[in-house]
Amino acid sequence: MKIAVVGVTGLVGTEMLKVLKETNFPVTELIPVASEKSKGKQIEYNGKTYSVVTLAEGIAAKPEIALFSAGGDISKEWAPKYAEAGITVVDNSSAWRMDANKKLIIPEINANILTTNDKIIANPNCSTIQMLAAIAPLNDKYKIKRLVISTYQSITGTGVKAVKQLDDERNGIEATKAYPHRIDKNCIPQCDVFTNNGYTKEEMKLVNETHKILNNYTIGVTATAVRVPVVGGHSEAVNIEFENEFDINDVFNILRNTKGIIVEDDIANSVYPMPINSKDKNEVFVGRIRRDYSNPKTLNMWIVADNLRKGAATNTIQIAQYLVDNKLV
């Protein structure tokens, strides 16, 4: 199984290599792909050294699967070229998520809709993945009517430049800004750019991707996304209004029996999910699970995950694993 990792030198590309190794993905040959300026750079993977190749050279190497995390512009240009060469692309950018002809996949929820004809498969936004991984099984039983989401998102979601800005600010160095404001000791209520409706692109991703993945466009979704000076992962406070009455003990049981979910909810001992504990973990952590006393049929949850893992690299590789296991490549 030849696997190309496109954007291998970036934060998510680096995590992809770690997850491929940790999960014993059946890689017979790794093809590390990046920009022209990174050509020839040496990459270590599973005890071997590989040289980074260009996007065109990646196609020529004829991998079965290409894991893309090189940004939307690169994906728009190159994913179709890889697909035309018979390579199945799993793309981590926003380029294809809302394309009506492309599947948007969280394996635990909707991988069953994939076929051999899907040559470009979209990986959802990080904040969408962790939220839906936790609430989709509750939706199956109680039917979600409305979601009110507040996110507290790690700087790693922006990339290397943001990590450097935080490090420089903490060390008293004049920083090259990834954000319009200082991020150290601050919270910035803007993730991505603002759209015409006053919401940011990040907030609208939560709306649009939720509808597409759950295949239900009647769910009311509203979100506020905030960038925080955290490295370990994204956190979300989610208020869920159901169509049906729910039993709180049943909610706990459903979550505890959902693959990929870890319930951390022991308030007597101050146990709840925190991003510092989610770093480098593939699971989604859920806690502060409680009935909303102000609104019938409504639940509050706190959801945390490493955005570079389940929010990006892990979910991408889980999609690839599903393709391999089900002989779709």
| Active site residue ranges | 126, 234
Torsions phi, psi of 113, nearest 5?
-85, -5
Q: 3-class DSSP state for residue 138?
A: helix
Cα 219 to Cα 209: distance, rounded to the nearest angstrom: 12
Cα 52 to Cα 9: distance, rounded to the nearest angstrom: 9
Q: 3-class DSSP state for residue 62?
A: coil
Cα 127 to Cα 203: distance, rounded to the nearest angstrom: 9
Torsions phi, psi of 217, nearest 5?
-95, 10
Closest by CA to 15, choosing from 234, 325, 279, 321, is 279
Contact present, 285 and 278 (Cβ < 8 Å) = yes
Q: Which residues of 105-138 are buried (b: 16+ CB within 10 A; e: fewer)?
A: bbbbbbbeebeeebbbbbbbbbbbbbbbbbbbbb
Q: What is the DSSP letter of 271?
A: B
